[in-house]
Amino acid sequence: MNIEQRKQWTETSLFPIELWQEGRDSTPLLCPTPTDAELRTLALAVPKHIQASGWWLDKPSFGHSYLYADDFKGMGRQWIADLPSGRKDYFGEVGQYIAAIHPRTVLRLLDRIEALESALETSRASA
C-alpha cells in the first residue's frame, strides 16, 4: 500500500484495493480493471520459470485445493495459490479459471489484441 492509499484509507475508512486508474471498466467496489499495458507489465513480472509453466489445480485435500505450476525443466513444482475446497462448485471453478489465465495466456491475448488493433488501423488508413 502506498502513502496516498494509506491516507485515503485513514480518511474514508475504505480499504483502497484499487491499483489501477479508474476508467469506464471500473466496478462499484473501487476495483478498476488494469489497462493493457498494466496487464502486460504484471504478466511479465511473474518469474520466467513460472510464466513458462503449465498451471493446474490439484485434487482437494485437507480442506484445500492447491494451484501449482511446473515448467518440467528442473525448477520443480511451484505453489501458486491455496483455495478452500469446502465449496467445490465455487472454489473449484475459481481455481480452474486462475489456472487457465496464467501469464502466458494473458500475454497471448494482449498480443492478439495488438495485432487486431493494428490491422484495424491499417484498414482505416487505407480506406
Question: Whole-angstrom Cα distance, residue 101 to residue 81?
Answer: 13
In this predicted model, what pLDDT tens digit does every residue of 65-90 receive, in sequence order?
A: 888 887 676 666 788 888 887 766 67
Which pLDDT band, with edges at 50, 70 and 90, does 94 fall under? confident
Which pLDDT band, with edges at 50, 70 and 90, does 35 fall under? confident
In this predicted model, what pLDDT tens digit does every residue of 12-25 receive, in sequence order?
A: 766 555 544 555 55
Question: Whole-angstrom Cα distance, residue 119 to residue 127?
Answer: 12
Cβ burial of 108 (10 Å; 0-12, 13-18, 19+) is exposed
pLDDT value, residue 22: 58
Instruction: Provide CB contacts within 8 A for 77, sequence distance 6+.
Output: 68, 69, 70
In this predicted model, what pLDDT tens digit does every residue of 41-52 receive, in sequence order?
A: 989 998 887 887
| Percent helix, percent strand, percent coil in the chain, to nearest 5 | 50, 15, 35
Confidence (pTM): 0.66
Contact status, residue 14 vs residue 8, Cβ threshold 8 Å: yes
